[in-house]
């Protein structure tokens, strides 16, 4: 089977038709606010919520990570400040 190559205006028209078809296919139908809220509630029911023990464990891990990063950034700040002070005094 041979392929035909579209040139000039024919190609532009075909591309425009493809774009319009794609735009029409991707167009979303608006939902009412009530339906939107029902969908949110439906999705939240599917969520697996952590137990209290897991929540404390995860919160502790997050706080420990933040503390470590804060210490690293603080040490880098102190070191760079000291370096700049030493360079500028000379």
Segment 42-54 mean pLDDT: 93
Lowest mean pLDDT among 19-23, 56-60, 63-67, 72-76: 19-23
Q: What is the predicted pLDDT for the residue at 23? A: 77
| Better-predicted residue by pLDDT, 32 or 83 | 83
Distance from chain centroid for Cα 78: 33
Q: Are 6 and 14 in contact (CB under 8 A)?
A: yes
Q: What is the predicted pLDDT for the residue at 3? A: 60
HSE-up of residue 69 (Cα within 13 Å, Cβ side)? 6
Task: Work out the mean pLDDT of the chain and round it to a whole number.
Answer: 87
């Amino acid at each position: 089977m041979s392929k035909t190559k579209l040139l000039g205006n024919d190609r532009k028209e075909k591309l425009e038709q493809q774009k319009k078809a794609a735009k029409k296919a991707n167009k979303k139908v608006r939902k009412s606010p009530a339906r939107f809220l029902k969908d949110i509630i439906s999705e939240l029911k599917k969520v697996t919520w952590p137990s209290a023990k897991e929540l404390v464990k995860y919160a502790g891990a997050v706080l420990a990570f933040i503390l470590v990063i804060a210490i690293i950034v603080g040490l880098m700040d102190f070191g760079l400040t000291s370096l700049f002070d030493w360079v500028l005094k000379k």
